[in-house]
Structure 1
């Protein structure tokens, strides 16, 4: 059985959703599909999730989001029309979401509705079962997945049933809607892969895999054919945006392979992410970069002859509100990198 996740660009408009259906129909083993909220249709477009955050901001300022929410509703009704679907059954669902946002259910509830509405729509289009992740996926205060999640899902997943699942959100331990960080639909896909004991997790996006370097910066960038869980976590943690770094954790123990593929070029092999690969001939997986960081460099001869110096200096930084994300250590030097917003 294969679990598939389709990102925002793959469900941004009707023609993309038609591609998704063709991909899923091509392999009967594709039985669980996770979807993001509709993304940008072009570079000047707005993501549905951003629209929903704006709706919540409007409510927080003491105003109704009724007019602003019309943009959200129009995205979905437009897609429904282009897919040849009747929009009438969907209108009460849209109105209920708008009312809940207006009632002050908060930013996480508002943001999660993009995936919720998209999954409801695609489930109807496919004729599959809609499976809500609230209250099945339980997210702890620190953003990690509560172990109860897997038993919750195992109890409801039925062999042979085909499911459309909204990504990005679950519920808190208090039972309120809670989201992962942006891009968290990747995590939802990984959770469903582990819970269903999938043979493979396919992550469909708008590029043909993970590149060895950012193709926007280097024209000769090539797709990495195979890499390990550890390698993709390291690259994603410092700027490689194709796959969410936290999505590795649910699948790593079960050693479920991940295939990053392109919705617009489904025959491309993409990138396989596995537990182990042979290093001979290509010891370096890739290079990534991330902006928005500042650096502190400390140099002193025989620095590391001083016992406890690392801990003492790190404690001092924490006192001043600086929490480094990365560090480099030399014989006579320490370099810390931290988000510039902390400076």
Structure 2
């Protein structure tokens, strides 16, 4: 059996965390491939390296003095390098790379930003390989370009993988006695420019590499010992999920489970890779397995509840809306004009609600969009709902359980929490509930208690 291990930013924040990672890699010979994020926060008020690199890039774009930011970035890496006696010449290359970011030529500012961000992971992978070699483990840094990780060029800061990547990875040569260290989060366009994935991109890289190299198990190390049935900040001793399906994880991650990126599941499904979410600070804990649905048996009707309040909604009421040929197309065309994609669109014969991620639009854009829709459709009512939250209640057993919807709705009715929208997916393993943002935590805890209170 072969394993890929991926470490998040909190697992690599400083030299002390590095020590834990080195032990994890060294204690299991099956851990052949390592994927790293950029160093994260060392403490609550700290700044992630990625955020410092965004600051550095912004200062360069605006022609501001960036030296203090650059010095802070280099110092973070130097602390780790010094703790492990990394060769001075090797670290000099890392320092030079960060310095030259401000001097290099880029296609445009978007590609500049992508290149700055990506080098947080890229230099951390180089540093990790150097540290492993200094500890007697044969390790090789693998640049995504050399491995053939190819991305599209539509959006350099939220790029998509091209399928040829898997062919490239299958032909990638390496020896059985070496550890491969990949940086997460980015790849290269066909023109040779750096492009990054969207949020949680290192998780995506882990899944891609595991699939392309035909790895059996993808161990994703983070700062929790399990994926829980609810956000652990909301209740004491939350119920731990020992095993869940790919599609359960995707549904939960979409609406707020930040432990694992929802897009990262797709490559793992393609390669039938078992994912094991584990704790860097307590690696002996079993963690949570993410597997195909036919390998899952749950003791509860639902597996987990997640929520996200990043949404807004546009509600319109127009009599005979269902008879207006092309009406919905007109509305969506206006959304497209303003560069806004929708997440969900529940409707009735006279009503339509369009739910979308509000981070896509400023207040001015929303005002212009509503004005244009009003002029094009002439609705009887047009309402903008700014603070909109979505709750996802997920479980493979829901597909075969009678009355699960009533059990979910009951505690919300008892708490007098108004429901704006409810939708069950075609798979019947997920129910989505739209509510006002102010009720989010109360609603999630109420549903959790309905199913897990005895546990």
Task: State TM-score, norm by structure 1.
Answer: 0.91
Q: Which residue is 2:115 aligned to?
A: 109
Equivalent position to 1:313, from 311, 323, 328 = 328
In structure 1, what is the Cα distance between the partners aligned to 2:86 and 2:191?
37
Deviations, residues 131-160 of structure 1 (Å, cap 9, x unaligned): 111252101135221122122222223241
Deviations, residues 80-115 of structure 1 (Å, cap 9, x unaligned): 122243444312331233113333541111111111
Per-residue deviation, 1:329 = 5.0
Per-residue deviation, 1:332 = 7.3
Deviations, residues 29-56 of structure 1 (Å, cap 9, x unaligned): 0000000000000011111111111111
Distance of aligned partners of 1:332 and 1:255 in 2 relative to their CA distance in 1, 3 Å threshold: farther
Unaligned stretches of 5+ in structure 2?
A: 107-111, 134-138, 367-455
Distance of aligned partners of 1:269 and 1:316 in 2 relative to their CA distance in 1, 3 Å threshold: same
Q: Which has the larger radius of gyration?
A: 2
Of residues 11-20 and 327-336 in structure 1, the stretch that sits farther from structure 2 once superposed is: 327-336
Q: Does structure 1 residue 210 correspond to structure 2 residue 227?
A: yes
In structure 2, what is the Cα distance between the partners aligned to 1:63 and 1:299?
49
Unaligned stretches of 5+ in structure 1?
A: none
Is the Cα contact below 8 Å between 2:70 and 2:98 reproduced in 1? no
Is the Cα contact below 8 Å between 1:168 and 1:187 reproduced in 2? yes
Deviations, residues 305-342 of structure 1 (Å, cap 9, x unaligned): x4687x73354144154532124456875443222343
Distance of aligned partners of 1:62 and 1:103 in 2 relative to their CA distance in 1, 3 Å threshold: farther
Equivalent position to 2:151, from 125, 139, 156 = 139
In structure 2, what is the Cα distance between the partners aligned to 1:285 and 1:301?
40
- Equivalences, count: 340
Deviations, residues 1-33 of structure 1 (Å, cap 9, x unaligned): 101100000110111111111111111000000
Q: Which residue is 2:200 aligned to?
A: 183
Task: State TM-score, norm by structure 2.
Answer: 0.70
Q: Which residue is 1:285 aligned to?
A: 303
Structure 1: which 4+ aligned runs deviate by more than 6 Å? 299-303
In structure 2, what is the Cα distance between the partners aligned to 1:89 and 1:323?
45
In structure 2, what is the Cα distance between the partners aligned to 1:334 and 1:224?
36
Q: Does structure 1 residue 295 correspond to structure 2 residue 306?
A: no
In structure 2, what is the Cα distance between the partners aligned to 1:103 and 1:192?
29
The answer to which structure, 1 or 2, has the higher relative contact order (CA under 8 A, 6+ apart) is: 1
Is the Cα contact below 8 Å between 1:36 and 1:168 reproduced in 2? yes
Distance of aligned partners of 1:63 and 1:150 in 2 relative to their CA distance in 1, 3 Å threshold: same
